[in-house]
């Protein structure tokens, strides 16, 4: 089978499109013929190997032999099943997040049946591949914030990517006043998705503007956590889902002090892969949620896809099509 492999850390140029052995499913695993996969921040960070956490997971000096194919969000068709599989059969259309195993940038991958959900008939494979990680980061982050009342205020920092575009749609029926922060080129999309206010991060710093929010969802986590909590109202909640590892450690260290002194809450979301995917299925089928897909690349164009993703210009998700829709 064809796959995109990385045997050393670096820029997208280290990725190799090559032929490797097709895997076989073990007990309670299914072999999936991948139709589409998508890029996430974790893929880009792992490729570059720029922080200690990714090095510990993928290999200190070079990617381990079983961690050389990135890609966690997959959508495809079950090709074969291992012993003990009861939920799926060959021919079933499935999708899910393979975080911890990866292997999505390939024509086939083996996955635990527990990591997959049935793809709704009306959902394309590209849409399905765009949902699991970003959609559930948004879903779980908003759930972590607790109940929201109409009229309360919430800011999303980095709202124009996958997580933010899902969060805006999930917030729409709640009557929350949403402010969205991203680059100028994405602001019109954010308005269309339901943002009440939009802010160009290059022209204004939401931590300095004097406006206070009941909730902040930080997708980027590039600013000081102390600065971000100053933008919260008393009793407000700040949730981060990713970004600078140094800032994440800062949040981890400071949250007890901020909770005690400022009476504000800091939460770091550790994604629970695929938890809540069925809820997103229901919202999609009801027409209340749809992934925003900026651009699709072929598997052989994965290097170009990573380069585009690295510019930060993408609106919503970047998807890799492995088998074009017929």
Q: Give the closest residue to 70 by CA, choosing from 95, 49, 92, 93.
A: 49
Same domain, yes or no: 51 and 100: yes
Residues in CB range of 288: below 8 A, 6 or more apart? 169, 172, 173
Residues in CB range of 243: below 8 A, 6 or more apart? 41, 158, 218, 219, 220, 221, 222
Give the CATH number for residue 260: 3.40.50.720
Give the CATH number for residue 46: 3.90.180.10
Q: Would 274 be classed as within a structural domain? A: no
Q: Would 206 be classed as within a structural domain? A: yes
Residue 19 half-sphere exposure toward CB, CA atoms < 13 A: 1
What does the pLDDT read at residue 224? 80
Q: Would 273 be classed as within a structural domain? A: no
Q: Would 300 be classed as within a structural domain? A: yes
Q: Would 278 be classed as within a structural domain? A: no
What does the pLDDT read at residue 117? 96
Q: Would 45 be classed as within a structural domain? A: yes
Q: Would 280 be classed as within a structural domain? A: no
Same domain, yes or no: 304 and 253: no
Same domain, yes or no: 193 and 167: yes
What does the pLDDT read at residue 326? 65
What does the pLDDT read at residue 128? 98
Q: What is the value of pTM for the model shown? A: 0.94
Residues in CB range of 28: below 8 A, 6 or more apart? 82, 83, 84, 85, 112, 113, 114
What does the pLDDT read at residue 222? 81
What does the pLDDT read at residue 223? 81
| Chain centre distance of CA 96 | 12
Q: How far apart, in whole angstroms, are the C-alpha atoms of residue 101 and residue 110?
A: 9
Residues in CB range of 57: below 8 A, 6 or more apart? 46, 67
User: From first to last of its 326 residues, what are the pLDDT tens digits of the chain?
Assistant: 999 999 999 999 999 999 999 999 999 999 999 999 999 999 999 999 988 888 989 999 999 988 999 999 999 999 999 999 999 999 999 999 999 899 999 999 999 999 999 999 999 999 999 999 999 999 999 999 999 999 999 999 999 999 999 999 999 999 999 999 999 999 999 999 999 999 999 999 999 988 999 999 999 888 888 888 889 999 999 999 976 666 666 766 765 656 666 678 888 898 999 999 999 999 999 999 999 999 999 999 999 999 999 999 999 999 999 998 76
Sign for the pseudo-dihedral over CA of 216, 222, 223, 229:
positive
What does the pLDDT read at residue 74? 98
Same domain, yes or no: 208 and 296: no
Same domain, yes or no: 193 and 315: no
Same domain, yes or no: 239 and 123: no
Same domain, yes or no: 107 and 187: no
Domain count, the chain: 2
Domain containing residue 119: 2-131+292-321
Q: Would 167 be classed as within a structural domain? A: yes
């Amino acid at each position: 089978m064809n796959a995109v492999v990385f045997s050393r850390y670096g820029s997208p140029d280290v990725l190799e499109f090559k032929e490797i052995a097709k895997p076989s499913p073990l007990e309670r695993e299914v072999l999936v013929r991948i139709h589409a996969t998508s890029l996430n921040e974790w893929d880009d960070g792992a490729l570059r190997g720029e922080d200690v956490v990714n090095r510990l997971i993928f290999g200190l000096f070079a990617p381990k032999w079983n961690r050389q194919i990135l890609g966690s969000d997959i959508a495809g068709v079950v090709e074969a099943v291992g012993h003990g599989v009861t939920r799926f059969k060959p021919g079933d259309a499935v999708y899910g997040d393979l975080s911890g195993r990866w292997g999505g940038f390939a024509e086939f991958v083996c996955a635990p049946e527990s990591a997959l959900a049935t793809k709704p008939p009306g959902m394309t494979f590209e849409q399905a591949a765009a949902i699991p990680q970003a959609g559930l980061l948004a879903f779980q982050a908003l759930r972590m914030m607790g109940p929201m009342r109409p009229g309360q205020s919430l800011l999303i920092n980095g709202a124009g990517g996958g997580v933010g575009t899902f969060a805006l749609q999930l917030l729409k029926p709640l009557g929350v006043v949403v402010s969205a922060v991203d680059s100028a080129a994405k602001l019109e999309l954010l308005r269309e998705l339901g943002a009440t206010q939009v802010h160009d991060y290059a022209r204004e710093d939401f931590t300095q503007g004097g406006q206070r929010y009941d909730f902040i969802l930080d997708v980027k986590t590039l600013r000081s956590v102390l600065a971000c909590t100053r933008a919260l109202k008393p009793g407000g909640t700040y949730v981060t889902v990713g970004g600078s590892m140094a800032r994440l450690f800062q949040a981890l260290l400071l949250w007890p002090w901020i909770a005690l002194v400022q009476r504000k809450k800091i939460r770091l979301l550790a994604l629970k892969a695929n938890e809540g995917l069925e809820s997103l299925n229901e919202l999609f089928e009801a027409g209340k949620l749809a992934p925003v897909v900026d651009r699709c690349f072929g598997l052989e164009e994965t290097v170009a896809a990573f380069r585009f993703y690295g510019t930060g210009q993408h609106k919503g998700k970047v998807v890799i099509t492995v088998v074009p829709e017929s």
